[in-house]
Amino acid sequence: MPYYLFKGRYTTQAYKALVDTPQDRTAAGTAVVEAAGGKLHNLFFCFGKEDVIALIEMPDDQAMAAAAMTLAASGAFAGGSTTKLLTAQEAKAAMEAAQTVAKSYTPVTG
């Protein structure tokens, strides 16, 4: 199954709820991911631009999109993004394919 990196920023209201009632959101994240047929490998709260990041394995892009849309529609997030990840082996296979594809491309610079 493909891997994805989900990054999210909580709304002020969501942070107020977390401060008023401290909670581990791993179970909630796991429920959404599993409902879409995937596996939540790790969920982290973090400093910086993002408040939460998660490493997720999903059956396909549609399943990941469904989970991300569910989170976006919840109102708990002010924004976020999803990045599809490649394993080192998948990246190597892409590099090997690029060797063949590169033979058909002539860049504008010559």
109, part of any domain:
no
In eight-state DSSP terms, residue 103 is T
C-alpha span between 11 and 88 (Å, rounded): 35
- Segment 6-40, tens digit of pLDDT: 999 999 999 999 999 999 999 999 999 999 999 99
108, part of any domain:
no
62, part of any domain:
yes
- Segment 42-57, tens digit of pLDDT: 999 999 999 999 999 9
Of 75, 74, 77, 31, give the one whose Cα is nearest residue 56. 31
- Whether residue 75 contacts residue 66, with contact meaning beta carbons closer than 8 Å, is answered with no
What is the per-residue pLDDT for 110?
76
110, part of any domain:
no
Q: The CATH number of the domain where 72 resides is what?
A: 3.30.70.920
User: How many domains does one find in the chain?
Assistant: 1
74, part of any domain:
yes
Q: Output the DSSP codes for 15-72.
A: HHHHHHS---THHHHHHHHHHTT-EEEEEEE-SSS-SEEEEEE-SSHHHHHHHHHHHH
107, part of any domain:
no
Which range marks the domain in which residue 52 is found? Answer: 3-102
